Amino acid sequence: MRHIGFFFRFFIRFSLRNMKKHLGRALTVLLGIALGAAVFTSVRLSIHAALDSFTQSMDVIAGSADRVLVQPGGRVPEEWVSKLLKFSAVREVSPVLTTYVRLAGKQSEPFLLIGIDPLMDRGFHKWQILQHANQDGKSWLELIQKPSSLIIGKSLAEKYALGRGDHVFIESTRQTDEFNIVGILSPGGLAAAEGGMIGLTDIATFQEFTRLYGWVDRIDIKFEPNAESKDIDKFRKMLPDNLRLGPPSAAKESGQGLIRSYQLNLSILSFASLFVGMFLVYSLVALNAASRRRELAILRAVGASPYLLFMVFLAEGALFGVLGWLTALPISTILVKYLLKGVSRTISLLFVKVHVETLSLSPWEILLSFAVTVFTSSVSALQPAWEAMQVPPNEALEISRHGRMRKTSVRKLLIVGVGCLVLVVPLSLLPKILNMPLPGYLAILLLFTGFSLLAPWGLQRTGHALSPILHRFAGIPAYLAGRYVRDSGTRTAVSVGALITAVALFASLVIMIHSFRSTVELWADQTVSGDVFVAAKMGQINQFRYPISPAVVMGLKEFKNRADLVPSRRFYLRYNRFPYEFELLYLKNFFLHGDFVWLKGNPDRVRTLLTQGKGVVISEVFSNRTGLTVGDIFRARIQSSRVSLPVLGIIRDYRTQGGVVFYSLSQFNTRYHDVQWSGCRIFIKDRTHDHEAAVMSVKNDIVKRWGDKLDIVSGNDLRKTILKVFDETFAITTVLLLIALGIAALGIATTLTVLVLERTKQLNTLYAVGAGFGQIRSMILWEAAFMAVVGEVAGVLCGFILSYILVYVINRQSFGWTFLYAVDWRALAMSLPLIILAALAAAYPAVKMVFRESPATLLREN
Amino acid sequence: METEKEHRTKSVIHARHLTRIYKMGDSEVVGIDDVNLDIAPGELVVLKGDSGSGKSTLLSLIAGLDRPTHGHLTVADHDLTDTTSSGLTYFRRAVVGMVFQSFNLMPTLSVLENACLPGLLAGNPPDRIKSKAMELLDWLGLSARMNHLPAQLSGGEMQRTAIARALINDPEIILADEPTGNLDSRNGRIVVELFAQLNHKWNRTVMIATHSNIADSAATVTVCLKDGKIDGQPCDI
């Protein structure tokens, strides 16, 4: 205890007073760390809130069932409700129907309508109605007693100013009906589902509204408490082939998996800001250790142990972490508001629908961000702390070594750096661990570390090679700057390392996003081809579970003279636990106008076989997730049919909610069972005349006839929407990237300022021997330019390697897809000079620092 | 009687009522106070005085590193009282050469490069500067050390490199601030001998600020400073 007390007193006197003396530097580093910590904390909290909201929503919708009975790609006949109750192992059952609907007459946000039997469901879902003074507390009975009764969630009620007794018109895929609101759900239980944007109705009302007489989406089952697993297995075996008994949490788990992958990737990206901030801490602690070397020697001479000095500098790093994290809190509160909105929108657009109303402050997330910040700051201080403990006491007597830090061998750093880089490739080739691309992330860390360790060597070689040339063309300031960076060792290299990291992230993300976007564009043009797309109203949000009515299909067929029709049917299924879409397409017409983006398999051969129904093509995501590849057999249960077909080819596909398997619609109808259309693409036959006008004419005709029954969109608009969603998805990434670049600029500003302060005597000497103010300032700018150019060149090189890892390792292991590698030379050519300019601008505070002390102080050193 | 103008013409250093006051927070510290000084060309002046007597302040004013608060200063026909910043830069490059106690060599430049530095800063042709620096280093006995970095030199060698640097632009005046302060007595004597040679053989005006007696024998003029003023009494350090 006495030792700890002494250590704190010593730390306050030795370190804190020194920090107070150089408050500007300390505050800059603190700002850098705080920004990094704020970004990391905000990203984690935002995604955690989305994950929490999703999980809570899924949990309350799933209820307390032990198992659910479903039909893959279809619905369960309602008669199974009574059949199930006859099994001795089954204690309770509850039929459930769900669909997304919206208020009619306005472009309102869809909300989830749940149909239950209020009596049978009481043991499964918790929900209550807000009680009013004039109510008898039994208004839930009204759901059964009064037809078209509806109870709604609080958010829905508040959003559209609805209350008990109000009448609303609600439209579903099939029709629009009037409902009578009999109550508002009180908080807790089902009220928390979908952020309160729900409606609850009796199952009979639901069936009447959706025309699903005699069908339910699922039946929730509770077994007898004494039922053993063998009883449940026995029960499972008695079920018909087309029905599946599954866990209630399957949808939750796959949704959580997608959000967690997104969380991991965004966390890693946000950690980059913290990683760049590490360089700032290293820079300042190393400066303190170097500039106070004589003090350290004196301390050692009067009895301080090397361990004490080590701990003091380590504590400096840790203190920056703690204070940086605390400073990050107010920044996080601002940042999290933006991120929460962006993150939940992105998750909703890409993966699963989430409603995040409030931020849940997870103690675990807060502890994690604190621990990561303090740990990274402390790690940054390790090397300077180690240097400090190596100072021998006899240095106190050596005047000539005063203030001189022992230089780290550039060669040693080069060897370690190359060693790190050599490990990058084998690590990238390793499979993921714990369902996460951990070896890939480790490879990225080693890539950054390797390039950062190469920075001193890069500066040395660049200074050596360029300073004579620059001397000739840019004069003595450029020459002196080159010579300085050549010999400055690790000090200058630290901020170059930070810049390398930030530029590498920038370049790699520019390349990755461009590759991704151009591949998605190609995919959208070829695979999402079509002049007009029609689907059952709200088909997409309801996973195309409501086919287009036969009457409308008949009407659409009348367009055959003017257009080629490509009808389709989509089933949302699971392969083991992996969600995917089984899509049936009328391939004969599809291949007339569009194509897949082929990855494996001979396209000409596969097209023929596919059209003949002799196999399926699977998406890259499906292949990577399930392990199926060309030649393997794809097996699935689709409604009443059991499908077993060879995989003919692998294609690129970028739908975000899992994989996709394509098969011929006409062959499916012939070989298995007749399925209805869930959508149809329309290609105008005559493509020679005014094509746009022809498209508009067809679209307008369809809108006029079935505008109330179909969602209709032109192909161009659909493809534009896909790219808009894509661009919105990467908006957050861009913000995080800019923050990382900003921290790197802070790094350059700090390093150059520190270097100027450290070299006050040298700069004054230059002045004394005839250098003008302009020449010295020009020299500082040239130093910044050297650092910026070396940082940028190495950063771009590192970025190219990183982009390969991101495209072919991280994306493949996280999301299952890769892209066609394409470099956005234009964006790089336009932005990289801007980064150099930003780095030069960061030199401004350093330039201002020159001659803060009068050159005459040179003569007053005694 | 000589007029003020004749004084100025004859003197390489001409100071009248020269005063330098430093602001230290709310208080003021007088560096030098009402100093009048005339140094003829070709003298070896030893500027003596205790610590804080104003030697370095006077030297920094003469070197063009600082400006007087009051008074008038002319050095080698350059009026340093009113000169612009660029005028002072030219003055430091062409008129004076500085030698410091701690040598102040650029650690990242070799001996030869350090010696060349003022010539290059002045924009002189590199080849000419290089050959001149080599001549100087040869004269100073540093031919074998030309490509060494300062950290690889002894104190005496570092100070001789600094002298080469001070001479590269052929300045009229060499100013040295405690040039032997960080040297042992043998090296100190060698350095003083070099200044004496510069004065006798090369006819340069040399001004050495020191608190020791090591340069006394070489001095042609001794100026004593006490509390920022020139002391008329014999120097008693």
Q: Does any domain span residue B5? A: no
Domain boundary among A682, A708, A734: A708
Residue B36: band (very low, low, confident or very high) from pLDDT cuts 50, 70, 90:
very high
Mean pLDDT of B109-134: 91
Minimal-distance CA residue of chain B relative to A474: B123
Q: Does any domain span residue B163? A: yes
Distance from CA of A474 to the nearest CA of B (A): 12
User: What pLDDT, on the 0 to 100 scale, is given for residue A835?
Assistant: 81
Task: Dig out the tokens for B52 from the structure.
Answer: 């804080």
Q: How far apart are CA A692 and CA A699, in angstroms?
A: 10
Domain co-membership, A46 together with A191: no
Q: How far apart are CA A547 and CA A549, in angstroms?
A: 6
Q: Tell me the pLDDT tens digit for each residue of B164-223.
A: 999 999 999 999 998 988 888 888 999 999 999 989 888 899 999 988 888 888 899 999
Mean pLDDT of A393-400: 61
Say if the Cβ atoms of A766 and B121 lie within 8 Å: yes
Q: Flag whether pLDDT at A154 surpasses 60.
A: yes
Q: Flag whether pLDDT at A406 surpasses 60.
A: no
Nearest by CB to A772, which of B89, B108, B165?
B89
Distance from CA of A482 to the nearest CA of B (A): 10
Domain co-membership, A87 together with A50: no
Domain boundary among A216, A247, A278: A247
Q: Which chain B positions have a beta carbon within 8 Å of A479's beta carbon?
A: 120
Domain co-membership, A291 together with A238: no
What's the angle, vertex CA A138, arms to CA A135 and CA A140, rounded to 5? Answer: 115
Q: Flag whether pLDDT at A861 surpasses 60.
A: no
Q: Which of A486, A755, A769, A858 to mutate to test the interface with B (most CBs of B within 10 A)?
A: A769
Q: Flag whether pLDDT at B31 surpasses 80.
A: yes
Residue whose pair of structure tokens reads 């059991």 in the numeric block: A642
Residue A164: band (very low, low, confident or very high) from pLDDT cuts 50, 70, 90:
confident
A775 near B CB under 8 A: yes
Domain co-membership, A165 together with A273: no
Q: Which of B104, B159, B161, B163 to mutate to test the interface with A (most CBs of A within 10 A)?
A: B104
Q: Does any domain span residue A411? A: no
Is the sign of the CA dihedral A250, A252, A255, A261 positive or negative? negative
Say if the Cβ atoms of A769 and B117 lie within 8 Å: yes
Q: Flag whether pLDDT at A617 surpasses 90.
A: yes
Domain co-membership, A58 together with A68: no
Nearest by CB to A483, which of B108, B118, B177?
B108
Instruction: Report which of residues A361 and A800 the model is more confident about.
Output: A800
Q: Flag whether pLDDT at A639 surpasses 70.
A: yes
Q: Which of residues 715-754 of A touch B (CB under 8 A)?
A: none
User: What pLDDT, on the 0 to 100 scale, is given for residue A343?
Assistant: 84
Query: What percentage of residues in chain A have a pLDDT greater than 70?
Result: 95
Q: Does any domain span residue B116? A: yes
State the DSSP string of B67-104: --SEEEEEETTEETTT--HHHHHHHHHHTEEEE-TT--
Mean pLDDT of A115-126: 89
Minimal-distance CA residue of chain A relative to B149: A487
User: What pLDDT, on the 0 to 100 scale, is given for residue A838?
Assistant: 81
Residue A401: band (very low, low, confident or very high) from pLDDT cuts 50, 70, 90:
very low
Task: Please return the burial class of A710, using the count of CB atoms within 10 Å of its CB with bins 0-12, 13-18 and 19+.
Answer: buried
A484 near B CB under 8 A: yes
User: What pLDDT, on the 0 to 100 scale, is given for residue A68?
Assistant: 92
User: What pLDDT, on the 0 to 100 scale, is given for residue A51?
Assistant: 86
Query: How many domains does chain B divide into?
Result: 1
Task: Dig out the tokens for A602 from the structure.
Answer: 């001979």
Distance from CA of A381 to the nearest CA of B (A): 27
Q: What is the 3-state secondary structure (H, E, C) of A173-235?
A: CCCEEEEEEEEEECCCHHHHHHHHCEEEEEHHHHHHHHCCCCEECEEEEEECCCCCHHHHHHH
Instruction: Report which of residues A115 and A640 the model is more confident about.
Output: A115
Nearest by CB to B106, which of A488, A762, A772?
A762
Question: What's the distance, CA A734 to chain centroid?
Answer: 12
Q: Does any domain span residue B119? A: yes
Q: Does any domain span residue A176? A: yes
| Percentage helix, strand, coil for chain B under 3-state DSSP, each rounded to 5 | 35, 25, 35
User: What pLDDT, on the 0 to 100 scale, is given for residue A147?
Assistant: 85
What Cα–Cα distance (Å) separates residue A221 from each residue in A58, A65, A118, A190, A245? 17, 5, 15, 18, 9
For residue A758, give its domain range.
419-529+720-850
What's the angle, vertex CA A323, arms to CA A758 and CA A448, rounded to 5? Answer: 65
Say if the Cβ atoms of A761 and B104 lie within 8 Å: yes
Q: Tell me the pLDDT tens digit for each residue of A167-207.
A: 999 988 878 899 999 989 888 888 888 888 999 999 999 99
Residue A841: band (very low, low, confident or very high) from pLDDT cuts 50, 70, 90:
confident
Residue whose pair of structure tokens reads 């839930």 in the numeric block: A140
Instruction: Report which of residues A244 and A291 the model is more confident about.
Output: A244
Q: Flag whether pLDDT at A288 surpasses 60.
A: yes
How does DSSP classify residue B228? T
Say if the Cβ atoms of A859 and B59 lie within 8 Å: yes
Nearest by CB to B89, which of A770, A856, A858?
A770
User: What pLDDT, on the 0 to 100 scale, is given for residue A169?
Assistant: 93
Domain co-membership, A550 together with A517: no
Q: Which chain A positions have a beta carbon within 8 Å of B78's beta carbon?
A: none
Q: Does any domain span residue A861? A: no
**ipTM for the predicted complex:** 0.86
Q: Does any domain span residue B210? A: yes
Domain co-membership, A188 together with A276: no
Q: How far apart are CA A352 and CA A392, in angstroms?
A: 61
Q: Which SS3 state, helix, strand or coil, does residue A582 take? A: strand
A760 near B CB under 8 A: no
User: What pLDDT, on the 0 to 100 scale, is given for residue A269?
Assistant: 79
User: What pLDDT, on the 0 to 100 scale, is given for residue A275?
Assistant: 82
Q: Flag whether pLDDT at A441 surpasses 70.
A: yes
User: What pLDDT, on the 0 to 100 scale, is given for residue A397?
Assistant: 61
Q: Flag whether pLDDT at A731 surpasses 50.
A: yes
CATH of the domain at B194: 3.40.50.300
As beta bridge partners, residue A536 has A710
Q: Which SS3 state, helix, strand or coil, does residue A155 take? A: helix
User: What pLDDT, on the 0 to 100 scale, is given for residue A55?
Assistant: 85
Phi, psi of A579 (to 5 degrees): -75, 140
For residue B202, give its domain range.
41-67+82-230
Minimal-distance CA residue of chain A relative to B97: A769
User: What pLDDT, on the 0 to 100 scale, is given for residue A404?
Assistant: 46
Distance from CA of B1 to the nearest CA of A (A): 36
Residue A138: band (very low, low, confident or very high) from pLDDT cuts 50, 70, 90:
low
Q: Does any domain span residue A122? A: yes
Beta-carbon-side half-sphere exposure of residue A802 (alpha carbons within 13 Å): 32
User: What pLDDT, on the 0 to 100 scale, is given for residue A509?
Assistant: 86
Q: Tell me the pLDDT tens digit for each residue of A204-241.
A: 999 999 888 999 999 999 998 888 888 888 888 888 88
Domain co-membership, A282 together with A362: yes
Domain co-membership, A704 together with A802: no
Q: Does any domain span residue A586? A: yes
- Among the listed residues A814, A654, A817, A818, the one whose alpha carbon sits nearest the alpha carbon of residue A257: A814
Minimal-distance CA residue of chain A relative to B60: A856
Highest mean pLDDT among A248-262, A383-397, B37-51: B37-51
Q: Does any domain span residue B7? A: no
Domain boundary among A182, A216, A247: A247
| Percentage helix, strand, coil for chain A under 3-state DSSP, each rounded to 5 | 60, 15, 25
Q: Which of B93, B100, B182, B183 to mutate to test the interface with A (most CBs of A within 10 A)?
A: B100
Q: Does any domain span residue B236? A: no
Domain co-membership, A127 together with A237: yes
Q: Which of residues 233-272 of A touch B (CB under 8 A)?
A: none
Domain co-membership, A747 together with A776: yes
Least confident segment among A579-583, A685-689, A697-701, B64-68: A685-689
Query: What percentage of residues in chain A have a pLDDT greater than 90?
Result: 34
Q: Which chain B positions have a beta carbon within 8 Å of A854's beta carbon?
A: 65-66
The rounded mean pLDDT for chain A is 86
Query: How many domains does chain A divide into?
Result: 4
Residue A56 contacts residue A354 (beta carbons within 8 Å): no
Domain co-membership, A295 together with A353: yes
